[in-house]
Homo-oligomer: A and B are copies of this chain.
Amino acid sequence: MAPGSKVYIGKAYTHQPKFELISYSEEFSEGTEDAKLEQLQNLSEDGVHWINLDGLHDVSKVDEVSKIFNIHTLLIEDILDTTQRPKSVYEENYIFFTLKMIKNANNGEFYDEQVSIFMGRNWVLSFQEEKEDVFDPVRERIYTSGTTVRKKGSDYLVFSLLDIILDGYMELMDQLEKKAIKLEGKLVKNPNDNHFETIRKNKYQLISLKKMVHPLKEAVNKLLRTENDLIHPSVHKYLHDLNDQVAKVSDSIESLREINDSHRELYFSSLSHRMNKIIEILTIVSTIFIPLTFIVGVYGMNFKNMPELEQPNGYFYTLIGMGAMAFGMLVYFKRKKML
């Protein structure tokens, strides 16, 4: 394929993607759920316009809107490739982000969805894979007069979107930490093979999270370092806040990885323990009965002349002697803490 080819790479969705257009300023706000292309072509100079497309599988839609906002073909390729690595790109008239959003995080299970965001002077263009949307709280704040987002420009809107996405990571981290604590408890009490399976799955989860968050960290850092007049100075401290959140998520991933290692160790230690216990049982039983079996073997021999056998109480003395031997060995093992 030629570079800049417009091909969708991702899950097969069947819903019909629509453009949602929300226009607002300090004074007003209005939204259209299924905006037409003409509307997008004729945005007013006043206020902020947020266009959100809830599906990438209809390549023509992505293409059409990209033409309106003059998006570079390479970036269209990035939007359409849902395996794209998180990154940020600076162009003269817009800033571009693509990153992974955490969806449906329940009990530490989740999947990721790609979000791409373009921020222009007074417009924001966002692309998602699915219909169901985590951006609803932002919409609500836009429709409520007097909120910060209404007072500020497109830069603050983008920050709000990124903030909500990062909240998803934060919540997932919380869930993963709680899950790790639960797993720990089970491993201490009664470890089994399923736990090893879980530990391994957790490891893979953390590897894939690291692959999502590490380049995101780079992208946010780049955003902070690059001078750009699209971002108002008053929004800078919000970006620093984002940066702190990414750092916190990244710290959490690192410590979860260490805890995962620790769980694996705990599992193997318990395997080892169990083995020791089993071998102890074998040793105790063998060590007590093998010598006794030897003794009874002695008196089972068929020699003509074996004086003990003629003794009237020989049998009983032998039984008592063997009992004493067994008892002595049990005491020995008790002292060695093997029982």
Contact = CB atoms under 8 A, between A and B. Distances in A.
Nearest to A140: B2
Contact of A315 (B255, B275, B282, B306): B306
Question: Chain A, interface size: which category?
Answer: 35 or more
A169 to B, nearest CB: 14
Contact of A3 (B4, B160, B269, B302): B160
A283 interface: yes
Interface string A308-338: 1111111100110000000000000000001
Contact of A207 (B2, B141, B259, B276): B259
Tally of this chain's copies: 5
Given A279-B282, A285-B290, A302-B306, 10 more contacts: A3-B148, A3-B238, A85-B251, A188-B197, A200-B265, A208-B255, A289-B293, A300-B301, A304-B309, A304-B312
A82 to B, nearest CB: 13
The residue among A85, A159, A312 with the most chain B CB atoms within 10 A of its own CB is A85
A279 B289 contact: no
Nearest to A249: B85
Interface of A: 1-4, 72, 74, 85, 87, 89, 137, 141, 147-149, 159-160, 163, 167, 188, 193, 196-197, 200, 203-204, 207-208, 210-211, 214-215, 237-238, 240-241, 244, 247-248, 251, 255, 258-259, 262, 264-266, 268-269, 271-276, 278-283, 285-287, 289-294, 296-306, 308-315, 318-319, 338
Interface of A: prevailing SS: helix
A207 B255 CA distance: 6
